[in-house]
Chain A
Amino acid sequence: MNTFRRFGKYLIVTGALVAALAPIYWMITISFKHEIDQFAVPPKWFRFPPTLEHYAEAFLTRSFGQYLFNSLFVAVASTVFALLLGTLAAYALARFRLPYGLDRKLALWILSTRMFPAIVTAVPLFLIMRDLRLVNTKLALVIVYTGFNLPFVVWMMRGFFAEVPRDLEEAAMVDGDSRFGALWRVVLPLVLPGLAATGIFCLIVSWNEFLFALVLTQTDTAMTLPVGIAGRVTQYGIKWGAMSAASVVAIIPILAFALSVQKYLVRGLSLGAVKG
């Protein structure tokens, strides 16, 4: 009976794994198939002559190389800014008791700004960016994504700082370190793994974001990978191969990163990581 149940469990898990991964695998095969094999019935899951023509088309003859660069630039810049600003705020909110419970109220208010549906702020932000002549610039996306990631950084880092015993930095301060020196030399090294995980979550959010990128960018100079892919999908005469190739490239860094933050996933997700 017990082995029977055990077997059943493995069967369920295997079924779930196939359901989760087969669709992605199918897209990967499309990106490596000649067009004639892409449309074969019954579908060719395993045996087909591979080709790199779609990757060449997407990244050499079309502008996906530029989109890739834009995505990387925007993701890294917005993550760096969000970590810089957010970590300072998180430290202050974790360590100081402000009058009238202000520290707690501010922390909650910061988190609540993340709860707005994206489309609610997308409409006015587009108009504001248009007035500032920032539409179609990478800067606009860096600014918006920094704001997107800030509440998340504050809450994640606030938790990590709270786990560091106060005695350590107090000892450093009694020994003559300034508060900033104690933060830099004593506390920050201790929360470094948490900081790295937080940064990776920010990179994923910025990398995956679509709506703001769609609204704020229209030309190759600022378009990110998701917008580039979407532009190919909604036109007539879809280039399935090039689109799949671009999608495969878009998921490679995500998978590498996702595996490295397994340990912090639950904490991150309950604060709204991964999706903006």
Chain B
Amino acid sequence: MPTQRDLFKADQSLAYLFIAPTLAVLFALSIYPLIYSIKISFQGNTGNATLANFARLFADRFFLAALGHTFVYAAIALTIEFLLGLAFALVLNHNLRGRNAFRALLLVPMMLPPVVVGVVWRLLLNSNFGAINGTLKGFGFNTEALTWTASPTLAMASVIIADIWQWTPFMFLILLAGLQAIPQEPYEAALIDGSSAWQTFRHVTLPLLKPAILIALLLRTMDLLRVFDHIFILTEGGPGFATETLSLYIYRTAFRFSNFGYAAAMSFVLLVITNLISAGYIRLLQTREA
């Protein structure tokens, strides 16, 4: 009779056979394109080797502006989504009648195709007949200054609002799951110690919730830094250059101006930034566990 160990050792070659197709597909669709991308980023127009694409990065004020927009967008959206998500998670962490139904309905925006989110907010924010200005007018407000996506200053707010609307439910859901995984005992101890609600939150809830918070922030940050879809629909990066993020500028450089080498060079900057930030989060996660 073979032992358990033998059974699993015997067909290790089967394991490689099972994994190989997946590795082959992922190699073809992520590693090979990455190598291809490195190659074209070092190529000039005539195919000669050059560093021109990387040198250009530092002198291109559009690139620097897009980088700035990306950070502003990500920082503001992340902060508001986190605070709102945490607040809702704390409210819904208690036994409320119909909690599961509330939860399911609150998650709807997150599931929508981002393109549809762009459409939804174009319909709401249109300065002539959008529901938001229309409703304000109905209450007698003067909405002439509220041109939303047509105004350079309000356009950024518009695309951030749409992001907050779609992704706050994500923060909420991950943080609620984190809250529900916290055992009751620390709370009972805090109650016996006579801690105030704020002290309990600060010294019991927050530390125990830290892993969930870090994971939610990590995943959202990655998505925010690469944002493309709903901005493309809402403002197309405009008016002017006001809402052009890095992904949009790379897209435009490659597919409108056919400058693939420069687009590839910029995409490496984006890749390095997202990798550094995610490495930072992961280090924070690990120090907590150690």
Using CB atoms and an 8 Å cutoff, list the residues of chain A in contact with chain B.
9-10, 12-13, 16-17, 19-21, 23-24, 26-27, 30, 38-43, 45, 85-86, 88-89, 91-93, 95-98, 103, 106, 110, 113, 115-128, 143-144, 146-147, 150-151, 154, 166, 170, 173-174, 179-180, 204, 207-208, 210-211, 214-215, 225-226, 229-230, 233-234, 240, 243-244, 247, 250-251, 254-255, 258-259, 262, 265-266, 269-270, 272, 274-275
Whether A96 contacts B119 by the Cβ 8 Å rule is no
Whether B229 contacts A210 by the Cβ 8 Å rule is yes
Q: Is the interface of A mostly helix, strand, loop or mixed?
A: helix
Instruction: Give the chain A neighbours of B145 by CB distance below 8 A.
Output: none
Instruction: Give the chain B neighbours of A86 by CB distance below 8 A.
Output: 22
Instruction: Give the chain A neighbours of B53 by CB distance below 8 A.
Output: none
Instruction: Give the chain A neighbours of B207 by CB distance below 8 A.
Output: none
Q: Out of A119, A128, A214, A251, which one reaches B226, CB within 8 Å?
A: A119
Q: Does any Cβ of A come within 8 Å of B276's Cβ? A: no
Whether A124 contacts B274 by the Cβ 8 Å rule is no
Q: Considering the chains assembled together, what is the distance between the CA atoms of A240 and B120 in angstroms?
A: 10
With A210-B228, A210-B229, A211-B229 in contact, is A85–B21 under 8 Å at CB? yes
Q: Does any Cβ of A come within 8 Å of B109's Cβ? A: yes
Q: Out of A16, A39, A150, which one reaches B25, CB within 8 Å?
A: A150
Q: Considering the chains assembled together, what is the distance between the CA atoms of A226 and B118 in angstroms?
A: 11
B218-236 contacts to A, CB under 8 A, are 219, 222-223, 225-226, 228-229, 232-233, 236
Instruction: Give the chain B neighbours of A106 by CB distance below 8 A.
Output: 19, 23
Whether A121 contacts B233 by the Cβ 8 Å rule is no
Q: 1/0 contact trace for B160-171 toward A, CB 8 Å?
A: 000001000110
**Which residue of chain B has its CB nearest to the CB of A30?**
B123
Q: 1/0 contact trace for B235-248 toward A, CB 8 Å?
A: 01000000000110
Q: Out of B30, B107, B112, B137, which one reaches A113, CB within 8 Å?
A: B30
Whether A127 contacts B40 by the Cβ 8 Å rule is yes
With A128-B33, A211-B228, A244-B123 in contact, is A110–B26 under 8 Å at CB? yes
Instruction: Give the chain B neighbours of A113 by CB distance below 8 A.
Output: 26, 29-31
With A210-B114, A230-B115 in contact, is A150–B11 under 8 Å at CB? no
Instruction: Give the chain A neighbours of B116 by CB distance below 8 A.
Output: 27, 226, 229, 247, 250-251
**Least distance between B139 CB and chain A CB atoms (Å):** 9
Q: 1/0 contact trace for B275-290 toward A, CB 8 Å?
A: 1001000000000000
Whether B112 contacts A24 by the Cβ 8 Å rule is yes
With A120-B270, A226-B115 in contact, is A126–B255 under 8 Å at CB? yes
**Least distance between A31 CB and chain B CB atoms (Å):** 10
**Contacts A43-B131, A92-B18, A229-B115 supplied; 12 other A-B pairs, CB < 8 Å:** A16-B106, A17-B105, A85-B21, A91-B18, A117-B271, A119-B246, A124-B36, A211-B247, A215-B251, A226-B114, A250-B113, A266-B174
Shortest beta-carbon contacts, A-B, top 6 = A42-B138, A147-B29, A117-B226, A92-B18, A89-B22, A124-B33
Whether A119 contacts B251 by the Cβ 8 Å rule is yes
Sampled A-B contacts (5; CB under 8 Å): A20-B169, A121-B29, A127-B260, A147-B25, A229-B233
Q: 1/0 contact trace for B2-42 toward A, CB 8 Å?
A: 10100110011011101101110110111111101100100
Instruction: Give the chain A neighbours of B12 by CB distance below 8 A.
Output: 96, 98
Q: Considering the chains assembled together, what is the distance between the CA atoms of A124 and B120 in angstroms?
A: 32
Q: Does any Cβ of A come within 8 Å of B267's Cβ? A: yes
Q: 1/0 contact trace for B249-275 toward A, CB 8 Å?
A: 011001100001001100110110011
**Least distance between A28 CB and chain B CB atoms (Å):** 10
**Least distance between A206 CB and chain B CB atoms (Å):** 11
Q: Out of A23, A118, A240, which one reaches B228, CB within 8 Å?
A: A118
Chain A binder among B72-80, B91-99, B150-158: B91-99
Q: Does any Cβ of A come within 8 Å of B1's Cβ? A: yes
Q: Does any Cβ of A come within 8 Å of B122's Cβ? A: yes
Instruction: Give the chain B neighbours of A229 by CB distance below 8 A.
Output: 115-116, 119, 233
